[in-house]
Structure 1
Amino acid sequence: MRQTTIITSTLLCLGLASSPNLLAEISINPPVTPQVQPANPSTAPNATAPNEATTEPTAPPVATSLATDILPEITAADGSDPREKIKDAVVKVHIVQHTYETLSPWNSDSQKGSGSGLIIAGNLILTNAHVASDATFLEIQRHSETKRYEAEVVYISHESDLALLRTKDANAYKDVTPLELGDLPKMQQSVEVYGFPIGGNTLSVTRGVVSRIEKQNYVHTGENLMAAQVDAAINFGNSGGPVISDGKVVGVAMQSGFLTENIGYMIPTPIIRHVLDDIKDHKVDGYGFHGFLTQSMENPAMRRKYGLGEDHTGILVHKIYKNSPADNKIQIGDIVTQIDGHKIENNGTVEFRPGEFIDHTHYIDMHQIGQDIKFKIIRSGQAQEVALRLDKPGKEYLLVKPNQYDKQPTYFIFGGLVFMPLNQDVIDSMEGTPARIGALTYESPDEKRSEAVIMTKVLPADINKDYHHDNDLLIEKVNGETVRDFRDFYNKVQASVSDFVTLQAADDYQLVIDRKEAIERQPEILTQYGVNADRSKDLQALDQTVAQPAAIAAPAAVATPAPVAAPVVPAVPAPVVPAPAAPAVVVPPAPAAPVATPAPVVVVPAPVAPAVVAPPVPAAPVAPAPSVGG
C-alpha cells in the first residue's frame, strides 16, 4: 500500500503523454523521477523526449562503464558464443495503441510504436505493461527474422509494469530455447541489456553494472516496488528487453533516469516471480495491503516518549484502515519492530543482504493475496506478535482508484456539465491538485461513499450560464440525497422527475439544472462541441442491460412476438440523455438485435464506433487499474 501522494509528469511509452507517480509507500521524499522508455517518441502528442532522446536517432552507444572492459568473453564448450542463444529469444514488439483523452474521453487516438520482449517458458513473451497497454493490434518479430506473428495479451500487471503475450500461431517459436530467470543480482554485478532502441532495426546490446537496489516508483502507475539501477544505456524502445547476467535473466528493462546520464532501471526477478506466481490461478490479483500506515522513529524525543532504548528499533503506527486486515488487531501508537522475522530499523528499512537495506514494505510485496504476514509489535511497553492475512488487492482500500488502462474512461454529460468518477488519471490531468481532492487520495471507502464523483468541466451554453468557469467540483448530493459512487450518481440523475436537478458540492455550493431544458438542448450542445455520445460505453451497456427485461416482458404480455420495437428505450426516463439510442456500442459486439430501431427521440449522432475495444486480453484481470502494492 502506498501512502504518500506524489504527482509527477513524465513521458509514457509509445505516445502516451504523461503518467503519474501515485501513492508512494511511507517515504515523504520521492526518489529521482525515472522515465518510461517509449519506443518512438516522435509519435507521442504533447510529449517532450528527455535529453538522451532529443539527439539524432542513432544507435545508442555502449555504456561507458568499467563493466565494458571487465565483462568476460563467454565461450561454450563447442566454441560457440552462448549470447547467440540469448539473442534468439529476444523479440521486438510492434504495437498499435488506442488511447483516450482523460478529460475529454469521447476523443481518442491510435498510434504505432514498438518495444522489446523476451521468450520465456510456456511459449510466452514477457515485456512491459506500458508496452502492451491499450493495445488493439500486436505483432512479434524475433531477432534475425523479418516475419512478424500476430500476438495477444494473456496477462497484464500494470502495477508491476509487466505483461505476458502469446503469438496466435502456437508453433511460432516452439523451437526457440526460452530464457531462464536468475537470482537478484549483487551490487556491481555485470549485466547486459538486450533490446531494440530507436535508431535502428537490429538488436542492440549494452553493458554495465548494477549500481543500486531499492524500492522505486514505477513510472507506469507510480507503484512503489523493488527496482535495480544499472549504468548500462537504456533508451527508447529498450522497454521490456531482458537484462542478462551469467546467461540468465536478472531483470526486465523498464525506464531511465530523468535528466541523468547512463542511469536506467530494471524490474528485478523477485517482482517477475511474484507476477508469475500470481497468475497461477489464471488471474492477476496484484499486491495486498496490511491495513496500517507508519512513520519513522529516528527522533530522540519520540523514542524517549515511547520508551525505546538504544537496543530497540521500530516504526510507529499512525493510521488504521477500517475493515482492513489490521482493523481491531493493530492500534495507533503500536511500535512495529519486526516483519516476517526481519528487524525493522528506525527509518523503516530492513537489511535484506549484508550491508544492503530496503523499505520493510518489500516483504509485504513478496506475499500473495491470501497469505499471512507476521509482525512483532510493542504495545504499552509489552512485546506481542500479530499475524495479518492479505485478503484483497490494495486498490480496494483506496477511495481514489489508481490509473486505468485498456478501457474508455467513464463519463456522463448532462446539461453541458461533464461528470466523471475521481481517479488518479483525472488528478494527473489537473493543473494543480486542490487540497480537498488531494486529501481524498489518503482515504478509504466506507459505508457512505465508495467512490468520489467530480464535475471536471463545463461545455459552455446558455442553459449552464454562470457555471462556465466551474471545474474540479466534487459532487456530494443530488437533489439533497448523498451520492455513494458514480453509478449511484448516474442513476439518481437519470431517475429524477423534478423540474430541477440540484447538485451540491462541498460547503453546499449548488449547481441547478432545468431538467426538461437540459434534455431538449442536449443534442445541440453535443453537436456544437463534436461530442458523439453523452455517456461512456460502460454506461451505454448498463442502460441496455436495464432495458432488456422490458423488451422481453412486453411480448409475453401481449402473447404475440410482433411488438418488440419500442421497449428497447432505457427503463430510466429516456429523455434525460439522448444517447440511449445508441446501445449498439457495447464493447463486445452486442448480441442485442432488439436495438435495431432506436427510439426516435434521439437526435444525437450515434456513439463512437464499437471498433474501439480494449486489447484482446482473455483474462478479466487485465482491466483493473493498478492496485496498491507496497
Structure 2
Amino acid sequence: MQKTTIITSTLLCLGLASSPNLLAEISINPPPVAQPATPVTDGKVAPQSHVVPPTAAATTTLGAAASVEASIAADEIALAAPPTAAPQNANDPREKIKDAVVKVYIVQHTYETMSPWNSDSQKGSGSGLIIAGNLILTNAHVAADSTFLEVQRHGETKRYEAEVVYISHESDLALLRTKDVNAYKDVTPLELSDLPKMQQPVEVYGFPIGGNTLSVTRGVVSRIEKQNYVHTGENLIAAQVDAAINFGNSGGPVISGGKVVGVAMQSGFLTDNIGYMIPTPIIRHFLNDATDGKIDGYGFHGFLTQSMENPAMRHKYGLTDDQTGMLVHKVYKNSPADGKIQVGDIVTEIDGHKIENNGTVEFRPGEFIDHTHYIDMHQIGENIKFKIIRNAQPQEVSLHLDKPGKEYLLVKPNQYDKQPTYFIFGGLVFMPLNQDVIDGMDGTPARIGALTYESPDETRSEAVIMTKVLPADINKDYHHDNDLLIEKVNGESIHNFRDFYQKVQASTSDFITLQAADDYQLVIDRKEAIARQPQILAQYGVNADRSKDLQALALDQPNTPAAPSSAVAPAAPTAPVVAAPVVATPTPVPTVAVETAPAPAPVPAPTPAATAPVVAAPPVTTESAPAVGGSHP
C-alpha cells in the first residue's frame, strides 16, 4: 500500500532540462510525493502504462533486418548478441558507447491537477541509449505525456521523429522507436551487464543542461538499496553513484567495463555528487514484462509484516536465537495470501533467501536488501515461495502473483498520459481521489490520508472527493468547503466515481443531497444548477463541465442524461489513451546482449501519482507504512 511520506531531503527527476516548471520543482517546499509501496500504473495492465501501437513499417535491425514484430521473444530479451558494427575508432571503446547515446527532444501536454480543464504544453530534453535497431531506452518521466518526440544521436545533427512503444511509470522506464526504421541500423547497440558491485567505477553519459554536446562524468557506485523512485514513488532497487548527474541526464546510460549497468534517473537535492540510477535488474524486468505486448508492472503477495527485533516479541512467539523472520500483521482479502497466510505467521524465507529480523536478506556476501526486492523481481503470473512458522511449526507456502499491486490500492498512484477525470455540477468540482489529488492539496486531511492505507472492497472501489467550489449564489455557504469525501448521493452509497457521476446525472428529484463524513450535507437545487451551469463555467473560464472520458461515456451510453443544451458544450471527445497495447503480434522488445543471465526479478504502492511532472521532487524519508510494490501493494 502507499506510504505517507515525510520530506527531509528531496530527490529530483532529471528529465526535461528546459522545463518551465524547473524552478517550482526545486523550490525549498516542493510538493510531496507519496510512496506507493509501489505497485502506477487497466485490466491486467498497469493503469499508467501506455503504449503507442506499433506501425506496420517499423522493424528492428538485429544482424539481419528482422521485423520488430517478429524479433520479440521472451527468451530473446537481454540474451542475443548485438550486431557487430565497427566503432568509428576501434582503438577507443568509448566511441562505440558515444555512438549509441541520443538526446531526446520532447513536447509534453500536461494538465493542472486541481483545475484539470486547464492544460499547457512545454518543451524539454533528456537522454537515451540505443539498445537494438531503432529502439531507444529512456526514463518514463522523460517520455510521459508526450505529444511529439525527436531523437538526435551524438555526433549527428539530424533529428529523427520517434514514438513511445512501451512505458512503465513504476519502473520509470520507457522504450522509444524511431519512425524511420533505418535511422540507426548501423549503430552497435549497448549491452546490459550485471548489477554492479560497491565501489565499482562508472561513467554517466548524457546531455545535461548547460550545453548541446555529450557529457561524460565519472564516479563509483556508493550504495545499493531499495529507494523511492521520484516519478511515482515506487519502491525499487536503485544504485547511488557519486558521479555528477544533472538535469537532462535522465535516461542516459551508466557504463562500467564498456557495458550498461544502469540508466540515470534522479539526483540529490542540496547535496553534492549524489545521483541515482535504475540498475539492470529493473531494466530486465521491464523488458521481460513487455514480451507479451503489454506492461503489467509489479505484483503484490497480499500481506504486510513487521520486524521481530524486540526480545519480548521473539520470546512470545518461541523463536530460538537461530530463528529469524518477520511477523505477519495484516492479510488482504482476495489477495494471493488470502487463505494461505494468517496473521501471526512468522515469515522466515523468501525464494530460499533467509529473512532477517529487520526484514532484510543477504543478496550478496555482506550486502543486505529489503526482502521485498525478491517480490519485485517476479513477473505477474509467477509464483513466490515462502517458508513460515505457524504455531511453532514450520511450513512452506507458494503464492501466485495474479495482478498488479496497484489494484490493491483504494487510492491509485500518480496518473500520466491522460486528462484527470473531473465533473462540475452547481459550481462544485468533483474528482476521483488519487495520489495526484492528494499531492495537489494544501495539507492532507486525516480522513483522506487514512484512505491511502485501505484497499478496494465490494462496497467501494474508488473514493470521490469534492476538491473545491467555484463560488456562485446557488452554492452560497459552501464556498469554504474543499477536500470533502462524498459518501452518498440522495442517501445511496457510492461505489466509484463513475457510479457517483451516473447517480447525479440520472437524478430526477428537485434536490440532490450529497453526504460527506459525519452526515455533513451539501444540498443542490438540481434544476437551478442545470440552468446556471453555463454562466458559472463561463465566469471561471471552464470550457467543459466534465473530462473527456466522461464525455465519451455519455456518447457510449445514450440513455445517460447529458449536460443540458444550455450548458457550455463540451469539447469533442478524443480517443482514450491506451494503457497498454493489445496487438495480434506483440510489439517486439529488443534483444540485448548481457554479461550474465538475467537475475530473477517486486512493488507495493505505486503509485505512481500529480499532473505529470517534468521534474518530480520525491521524498527520501517515509513513515513506516505499507508500500506499493515489493511487500506492499
- TM tier relative to shorter chain: 0.7 to 0.9
TM-score by length of 2: 0.81
1:586 corresponds to? 573
Amino acid paired to 1:587: T
Match of 1:39 among 13, 16, 20: 16
1:580-599 residue CA offsets vs partner (Å, 9 max, x unmatched): 844x62223xxxxxxxxxxx
Distance in 1, Cα, partners of 2:310 & 2:286: 38
Q: Secondary structure at the match of 1:527?
A: helix
Match of 1:487 among 494, 498, 503: 498
Distance in 2, Cα, partners of 1:615 & 1:313: 45
Displacement after TM superposition at 1:576 (Å): 5.5
Larger helix proportion of the pair: 1
CA RMSD of aligned residues (A): 2.2
> Can you give the 5+ residue segments of structure 1 that lack an aligned partner in the other structure?
9-30, 52-75, 548-570, 589-612
The 5-angstrom pairing of residues 226-625 of structure 1 reads 226-547=237-558, 571-575=559-563, 581-582=569-570, 585-588=572-575
- CA separation of 1:259/1:41 partners in 2, compared to 1, >3 Å: closer, same or farther? farther
1:483-526 residue CA offsets vs partner (Å, 9 max, x unmatched): 00000000000000000000000110000000000000000000
Amino acid paired to 2:5: I
Displacement after TM superposition at 1:331 (Å): 0.6
Instruction: Assess if the C-alpha contact under 8 Å between 1:153 and 1:618 holds in 2.
Output: no
Displacement after TM superposition at 1:351 (Å): 0.3
- CA separation of 1:579/1:347 partners in 2, compared to 1, >3 Å: closer, same or farther? farther
Distance in 1, Cα, partners of 2:284 & 2:343: 34
1:629 corresponds to? 629
Q: Secondary structure at the match of 1:47?
A: helix
Displacement after TM superposition at 1:4 (Å): 2.5
Displacement after TM superposition at 1:304 (Å): 1.1
Instruction: Assess if the C-alpha contact under 8 Å between 2:192 and 2:280 holds in 1.
Output: yes
Instruction: Assess if the C-alpha contact under 8 Å between 1:135 and 1:615 holds in 2.
Output: no
1:357-409 residue CA offsets vs partner (Å, 9 max, x unmatched): 00000000000000000000111111110000000001111100110000000
Q: Secondary structure at the match of 1:438?
A: helix
Q: Secondary structure at the match of 1:151?
A: strand
Amino acid paired to 1:34: L
- The alignment-based identity, stated in percent, is 81
Q: Secondary structure at the match of 1:425?
A: helix
The 5-angstrom pairing of residues 128-143 of structure 1 reads 128-143=139-154
Instruction: Assess if the C-alpha contact under 8 Å between 2:241 and 2:276 holds in 1.
Output: yes
Match of 1:181 among 185, 192, 199: 192
Distance in 1, Cα, partners of 2:364 & 2:402: 29
> Can you give the 5+ residue segments of structure 2 that lack an aligned partner in the other structure?
29-86, 588-605, 610-627
1:59 corresponds to? none
Displacement after TM superposition at 1:312 (Å): 0.7
Instruction: Assess if the C-alpha contact under 8 Å between 1:91 and 1:119 holds in 2.
Output: yes
Displacement after TM superposition at 1:80 (Å): 1.2
Q: What is the count of residue pairs matched by the alignment?
A: 534
* More relative contact order, 1 or 2 (CA 8 Å, 6+ apart): 2
Displacement after TM superposition at 1:77 (Å): 14
Distance in 1, Cα, partners of 2:91 & 2:479: 70
Q: Secondary structure at the match of 2:204?
A: strand
Distance in 2, Cα, partners of 1:154 & 1:626: 19
Displacement after TM superposition at 1:327 (Å): 0.6
Displacement after TM superposition at 1:40 (Å): 2.4
1:295-337 residue CA offsets vs partner (Å, 9 max, x unmatched): 1111111111111121110011111111000011111111100
Distance in 1, Cα, partners of 2:102 & 2:214: 9
Distance in 1, Cα, partners of 2:257 & 2:88: 15
Displacement after TM superposition at 1:35 (Å): 1.7
Displacement after TM superposition at 1:260 (Å): 0.9
Q: Is it true that 1:6 corresponds to 2:5 in the alignment? A: yes
Instruction: Assess if the C-alpha contact under 8 Å between 2:88 and 2:95 holds in 1.
Output: no
1:137-158 residue CA offsets vs partner (Å, 9 max, x unmatched): 0000000111000000000000
- CA separation of 1:249/1:490 partners in 2, compared to 1, >3 Å: closer, same or farther? same
Distance in 1, Cα, partners of 2:204 & 2:432: 40
Instruction: Assess if the C-alpha contact under 8 Å between 1:181 and 1:269 holds in 2.
Output: yes
- CA separation of 1:83/1:468 partners in 2, compared to 1, >3 Å: closer, same or farther? same
Distance in 1, Cα, partners of 2:479 & 2:493: 24
- CA separation of 1:382/1:618 partners in 2, compared to 1, >3 Å: closer, same or farther? closer
Instruction: Assess if the C-alpha contact under 8 Å between 1:7 and 1:428 holds in 2.
Output: no
- CA separation of 1:247/1:490 partners in 2, compared to 1, >3 Å: closer, same or farther? same
Distance in 1, Cα, partners of 2:88 & 2:500: 69
Distance in 1, Cα, partners of 2:389 & 2:138: 43
Displacement after TM superposition at 1:268 (Å): 0.1
